Amino acid sequence: MLKLGLVRHAKSSWSSPQLIDHDRPLNNRGVRDAPVMAKQVLKLFGVPDLLVSSTAKRALTTAKVFKKEMKLTDDKLEEIAELYHASIEDTMEVISEIQEDAKFAMIFGHNPTMTYLANSFPGDMIDNVPTCGVLLLESSASSWDNVNVSNTKRLDFIYPKMYV
């Protein structure tokens, strides 16, 4: 069984309009929520083998907070530029390329893709994956390149308002 976490980045700041979208940092709420959610993932789902993040500052910062809270080494965090403005298909391609020794991986990305991707797997309709929301999926696929909607199901959906 493979476990996959889908994480929408924590809340970002709009306080510096001169910044390009890719460079927007987390705001105070994002800084507060990311460690809380990382601890909840640890408690509920265990330690992931790999974190894969968009290169956008808000997503990468969220992933780095998770890495720190989970006491993961730097080699357990991959930065993938294609996850910024990724479609469902782009994200599934990234998932298909996850290293085979990882049995639990987490993808840090953006909306609307995280919500669309979550709803492509069986389960109740999710109107919106909120910032720093985490979906846990489980797949019976034997390898990451075989993960698809027919062999993968949603196990859980957690988000900051449940804990803060």
0.75 exceeded by pTM: yes
CB 26 within 8 A of CB 12: yes
Q: pLDDT averaged over the chain?
A: 97
Q: Answer yes or no: is pLDDT of 104 > 90.
A: yes
Local structure of 142: helix, strand or coil: coil
Helices 113-120 and 88-96 cross at an angle (nearest 10°) of 70
Q: Which fold has domain 2-12+21-162?
A: Rossmann fold (3.40.50)
Instruction: Give the pLDDT score at 17.
Output: 85
Query: What pLDDT shows up at residue 13?
Result: 95
pLDDT tens for 57-92 read 999 999 999 999 999 999 999 999 999 999 999 999
Residue 149 gets the label, from left (phi > 0), alpha (psi -120 to 50) or beta, of alpha
